[in-house]
Structure 1
């Protein structure tokens, strides 16, 4: 349900009312005296019905652990920059989604290649969430910030100034580095000014936070190097959607549709076909495997590089390279299971050395062996988990050699790699391993916040 609101007094009498405890009781959410559970507001510019499954998973996880969890977010417009039907970009609204109370504040809808439009999108929501999202944060014991974009932290910082509401910030990616890495403001005085302002603001969000979480070891090192005390930074992996990403049977008929037999060796990449993935290197590696006609590459997905990759495969007359349209997330586990090896590919850029694509966790959670043609943390996890193979990014010859080695590996050994990867996921990267860390950090932040305010909850 979705209703437009104009005035604060039109908000529900108790903004953060809702389910008090999860099925396991007040493991983290209830305070020491058991008076009532901690009240946490997730601050995220994006939330369903936008494709923001992680933000939704985090919120439901908090609720399941005993918190009263609410959401402060924007008017849905991602990824096309078009406001979803039933919403207005200029009006605040409140809705209940899956039992979670969601407050949406206005923004300028944009998600195109315009640096000005994107900046206005981020800045407009930072302003509206700070001004119109006050009640969601004023009544919270702590806030959890999904800080991508980093400007989403503005509302939590304002609440800390006004009411000493503590916040824990989840660093999803490195700002402002990722902004410029994706082609915005590549040079000139505007770039220098924007970089200086964003760097200063980002550092301030870290300093004001009660705690900072990061999703990769490499990113933790960088945050610490930027002046955040090591004891204030925790590694919290982003877990997969475990309801759908788990071991399953292969997608029926997939090999038949591609004209492949059960004996053929299939390397599958599923996801965005973009410039950052450098899949042209993978197609080039397949050209070096012409003497192995039973080795096939399947690129399943869409993106700005798809047409170019198709043209490359046709130019090189590679009948062993196949293209499939993307499928919904709930079908990806079966598609991955139809392959012998699942590929992760990234360009060899400094930013990507501390990047962990979500498909990493998905492949591990599904118990599938992987080939990591990526730098830094992705390759390290493939090695530590003994979950498959790794190849240096950007080197088609080296990648072809690794594929040859994988093809020569018995299938029972490949299955053992997948099983080892799943065990690594369960131990280090699962919701059961990481959600309690977030919950504990929020409980500690809420307790310190109450002490700082000198009050006790009724």
Structure 2
């Protein structure tokens, strides 16, 4: 099948959305499908449109207004500009069999719907998070009129899609509760691509580089945003500032990074380090040196039906986690002996879980040995691509 795959975020950008889009589109192409990826330029460009070949993928890049991360109007302009430009990119693809658009933001769904009508073909929408709900609870949508319009757009896209792909069973239940037919919803969770499990050729000794050879290293990688509730970790670090055995390392970017750095500095914390965001392949040495990873979200019922992709990223590198997420994510960690839970936004309970892990080195070692096997058994992206391929082919019949 010829598939148009719409994703605003794609490598060389760094992040979970980019990783899933690249892995899924690549795996579909490896199954014999003809993939045409519509995405944005990764950084400001004087060129409006371009086309390149990435492995077997035809990648069409188009302009977007830069998102400064500090203005809601600027962010909306970023979304809308890509929505418009990606429609024009879609004109360049000879009649596809499927138009596949992936969220989080809804306007990619508008692009998908428009192109499906223009090409007279099936429209598939992938829901990777409940964008409108999360925008509301995180205070990103404060205008009630805009919020109502966003909800109407969300329902419009869900109703027009021929197939909806969600990443958790909780998301499926929520859409069914909105009146969307269960028959057109399938669950394809996040996971890991087997080729990414290859060990680094030569891992650096990160602890030695940072001067923390004898310390227990607790690592957070990824988006440092409003949803992650990372203030709790800084509060815990403050409570542990006289404990020389523990060091916290944050690697990533996001709207909350600067405030967290300022808070750590104001508290005089020497047990917290911040580094810039890095590509997945450049993180290998940090994963290898860390003793635990952090998976954290704010305490809210909606996050209980969310599974952060970071759970799978840490499992893929055999790194047990401290998980501050209730619901499905916590159940996965417990079922696969992948880490230690703590109550979201509770610094004291975070410290309890951390010390429980730190004082059981043999249990940590046992966990590390089993993580990749558990992961490949249940969350293999190559297997997931076959499931998606079967669903798309069924849609064609």
TM range, smaller chain: 0.7 to 0.9
Alpha-carbon shift at residue 174 of structure 1 (Å): 1.0
User: For 1:355, which of 285, 288, 306 is the aligned residue?
Assistant: 306
Distance 2:200 2:78 in 1: 40
User: For 1:278, which of 201, 213, 229 is the aligned residue?
Assistant: 229
Aligned to 1:173: 129
Please give the secondary structure, in 2, of the residue aligned with 1:382: helix
Give the number of the structure whose alpha-carbon radius of gyration is greater: 1
Distance 2:241 2:95 in 1: 64
Task: Verify: 1:298 aligned to 2:298, yes or no.
Answer: no
User: For 1:47, which of 10, 27, 30 is the aligned residue?
Assistant: 10
User: For 2:53, which of 71, 79, 96 is the aligned residue?
Assistant: 96
Please give the secondary structure, in 2, of the residue aligned with 1:323: strand
Distance 2:70 2:341 in 1: 33
List structure 1 segments (4+ residues) > 6 angstroms apart after TM superposition: none
Alpha-carbon shift at residue 121 of structure 1 (Å): 3.0
How many residues align? The count is 394
User: For 2:145, which of 179, 185, 193 is the aligned residue?
Assistant: 193
8 Å CA contact retained: 1:388, 1:418: no
8 Å CA contact retained: 2:29, 2:56: no
Aligned to 2:44: 83
Task: Tell me how large the CA RMSD over aligned residues is.
Answer: 2.8
User: For 1:61, which of 3, 10, 27 is the aligned residue?
Assistant: 27
Alignment of 1:248-397 (within 5 A): 251-262=203-214, 264-289=215-240, 292-397=243-348
8 Å CA contact retained: 2:99, 2:116: no
- Alignment gaps of 5+ in structure 2: none
Please give the secondary structure, in 2, of the residue aligned with 1:94: strand
- Alignment gaps of 5+ in structure 1: 1-37, 448-458
Deviations 1:362-389 (A, max 9, x none): 1011121111022333322211221110
Aligned to 2:95: 139
Alpha-carbon shift at residue 440 of structure 1 (Å): 0.9
Distance 2:61 2:201 in 1: 40
Alpha-carbon shift at residue 207 of structure 1 (Å): 2.0
Deviations 1:119-146 (A, max 9, x none): 233234334444662352x611112211
8 Å CA contact retained: 1:244, 1:333: no
Aligned to 1:439: 389
Q: TM-score, normalised by structure 1?
A: 0.77
8 Å CA contact retained: 1:168, 1:441: no
User: For 2:377, which of 397, 420, 427 is the aligned residue?
Assistant: 427
Deviations 1:28-62 (A, max 9, x none): xxxxxxxxxx2211122333454434322222111
Tell me whether 309-318 or 219-228 shows the greater mean CA deviation: 309-318
Please give the secondary structure, in 2, of the residue aligned with 1:202: helix
Aligned to 1:207: 159
Deviations 1:143-201 (A, max 9, x none): 22113321112233234435540122111211322333454331xxxx22222222122
User: For 1:414, which of 361, 364, 367 is the aligned residue?
Assistant: 364
Alpha-carbon shift at residue 445 of structure 1 (Å): 1.6
Alpha-carbon shift at residue 242 of structure 1 (Å): 4.3
Alpha-carbon shift at residue 439 of structure 1 (Å): 0.9
Alignment of 1:13-52 (within 5 A): 38-51=1-14, 52=18
Please give the secondary structure, in 2, of the residue aligned with 1:360: helix
Tell me whether 194-203 or 268-277 shows the greater mean CA deviation: 268-277
Alpha-carbon shift at residue 219 of structure 1 (Å): 1.7
Tell me whether 113-122 or 205-214 shows the greater mean CA deviation: 113-122
Distance 1:245 1:84 in 2: 34
Q: TM-score, normalised by structure 2?
A: 0.88
Alignment of 1:218-233 (within 5 A): 218-233=170-185
Aligned to 2:83: 126
8 Å CA contact retained: 2:6, 2:101: yes
Alpha-carbon shift at residue 261 of structure 1 (Å): 3.2
